[in-house]
Amino acid sequence: MRFGLLGYPLSHSYSPKIHKSFGSWPYELFPVERNDLETFFQNANFTGINVTSPYKKIAMSYCHHLSDSAVKAGCVNTIVRDKNGKLIGYNTDYSGFQYMVKACSIDVRNKKVLILGSGGAAGTVQTVLKELGANTVVISRSGENNYQNLHRHHDAFAIVNATPVGMFPNTMESLVDLHQFPDLVAVLDLIYNPARTKLIMDAEARGLRTTSGLGMLVAQAKESAQYFLQKPISDEKIQEVQMQLEKQTQNIILIGMPGCGKSTIGKCLAECLGRRFIDLDTEIQKELGVEIEAFIRNAGETAFRQIESDIIARYGKMNSLVVATGGGCVTKEENYQYLHQNGCIYWIKRDLDMLPTDGRPLSQKIGLSKLYEAREPLYERFSDHIVHNMDSIQSVVAEIMELEVSL
């Protein structure tokens, strides 16, 4: 048995992890350049492969038989070798996107749905949505409906992003301003890295229904694995694998007042979980080349906060980190999206009389009570969970680990 993923370039992919969970393993990456594609199909002895960008359309020509979904969507993302050596092409993105719409709990019948992008995935999305009875409009940079005349579609019910805009590493980009769509109910983004794109976070902020692409990725992989292994896999396994992946990839972010124990707890947590630990104050200090206290004294807090935001943006888009933030990171609203895109945010709460002020310029200058009064609503706003650090570091670490398992 030999499984894998064909595409070019292939950077970091979640597919090997997902297919290991479904039993379609070993699963290799086949980064094949366009000129070598013919040779790949002539010589490769795979049992089954997934196909990704840019080969989903051209790969059809190497298949001896195509499934209905592949014909309807006009591309394949799964190819299986049958017992006679013939290649059968399937499109499992089709059922993956059906799963995504179901997960979003929306009824698109007779509703206007905007599809951003006109590539391979957009074609599959359009096929599924049309079958569900939606009135679809493809927004393309070069089409009749484009980003300059979005006002034509102010009555849109849902938006589906089927472009790479917002994907890692350019995570803070979005193609549309959601304020233009007063009737909007849902936003679906095929992107799964980051876990929440800017578009998804903007939609969350407006209280809309949102779904990111991870469920689709796992659901399409499940159907592929069924073809690879020639056996059924239960639908419940999709959510299980999705949750496992979410837990493994999500950052654990610690916020709270200066001196509340974030760095010590973070280090300990990272050790227990076998993850990389990032202390943002240490990273900022490396960037500044001087102590933070001295920098604030000379350049002022505003200059410091800008550098802090740049560094939060750098680490916030990474995966599987434990991150201890500086106490004042919540004072800049933009830092919320940087941290939230891939993270679960824990507010470490500790009584004020237990907080040290040595070497903490703002705690000394403003006074702890005043500082806390100003920041408490901000910690509240940023945090997903509150953990009290009153007893021991070990008990805080244990509580966070327990919450991570139960999420």
Interface mask toward ligand NAP for 200-219; x: CB under 6 A: -------------x--xx--
Choose, from 20, 56, 83, 365, the residue flagged as catalytic: 56
What is the CA 27 to chain-centroid distance, rounded?
22
Measured between alpha carbons, how far is 70 from 76 in angstroms, rounded to an integer?
A: 5
Contact stretch for ligand NAP (CB under 6 A) within 23-31, 190-198, 276-284, 399-407: 190-198
**Minimum Å distance from CB 97 to ligand NAP?**
8
Instruction: Kindly tell me which of 4 and 117 has the beta carbon lying closer to ligand NAP.
Output: 117
Shortest CB 345 distance to ligand NAP, Å: 24
Size of the site for ligand NAP (CB under 6 A): 25
Report the C-alpha gap between 268 and 272 in whole angstroms: 6
Site for ligand NAP in 267-306 (CB under 6 A): none
Options 23, 37, 40, 118; binder of ligand NAP; rule CB under 6 A: 118
Ramachandran sector of residue 287 (left: φ over 0; alpha: ψ -120 to 50; beta: rest): alpha
For the record, the structure tokens of 276 come out as 């990389």
Least Å distance, CB 58 to ligand NAP, is 12
Pick the binder of ligand NAP from 73, 80, 122, 208 (CB under 6 A).
122
- Which lies closer to ligand NAP via its Cβ, residue 217 or residue 238? 217
Q: Does 175 bind ligand NAP (CB under 6 A)?
A: yes
Mapping DSSP onto H, E and C, the string for the chain reads CCEEEEECCCCCCCHHHHHHHHCCCCEEEEECCHHHHHHHHHHCCCCEEEECCCCCCHHHHHCCEECHHHHHHCCCCEEEECCCCCEEEECCHHHHHHHHHHHCCCCCCCCEEEEECCCHHHHHHHHHHHHCCCEEEEECCCCCCCCCCHHHHCCCCEEEECCCCCCCCCCCCCCCCHHHCCCCCEEEECCCCCCCCHHHHHHHHCCCEEECCHHHHHHHHHHHHHHHHCCCCCCHHHHHHHHHHHHHHCEEEEECCCCCCHHHHHHHHHHHHCCEEEEHHHHHHHHHCCCHHHHHHHHCHHHHHHHHHHHHHHHHCCCCEEEECCCCHHHCCHHHHHHHCCEEEEEEECCHHHCCCCCCHHHHHHCHHHHHHHHHHHHHHHCCEEEECCCCHHHHHHHHHHHHHHC
Is 167 near ligand NAP (CB under 6 A)?
yes
Closest approach of ligand NAP to the CB of residue 265, in Å: 34
If binding is defined by CB under 6 A, does position 140 make contact with ligand NAP? yes
**Number of residue whose CB is nearest ligand NAP:** 119
Ordered strands of the 343-349 beta sheet: 276-279, 321-324, 251-255, 343-349, 385-388
| Region binding ligand NAP by CB under 6 A among candidate stretches 115-123, 179-187, 199-207, 276-284 | 115-123
Q: Give the residue with the Cβ less far from ligand NAP, 189 or 279.
A: 189
Q: Any catalytic annotation for residue 349?
A: no
Q: Which of 24, 91, 126, 163 binds ligand NAP (CB under 6 A)?
A: 163
140 or 309, CB closer to ligand NAP? 140
Range in contact with ligand NAP (rule: CB under 6 A) among 62-70, 140-148, 280-288, 295-303: 140-148
Binding ligand NAP (rule: CB under 6 A), the pick from 158, 160, 162, 203 is: 162
CB of 270 to ligand NAP, least distance (A): 29
Residue 393 touches ligand NAP, criterion: CB under 6 A: no
Hunting for tokens 């007063």 — which residue is that?
182
Query: Which of 41-49, 135-143, 195-203, 253-261 is the region at the interface with ligand NAP (rule: CB under 6 A)?
Result: 135-143
Query: Given candidates 60, 108, 186, 191, which one binds ligand NAP under the rule CB under 6 A?
Result: 191
Is there binding between residue 199 and ligand NAP (CB under 6 A)?
no
Write out the catalytic residue numbers.
56
| Binding-site ranges for ligand NAP (CB under 6 A) | 53, 93, 96, 117-122, 140-142, 162-165, 167, 175, 190-192, 213, 216-217, 220
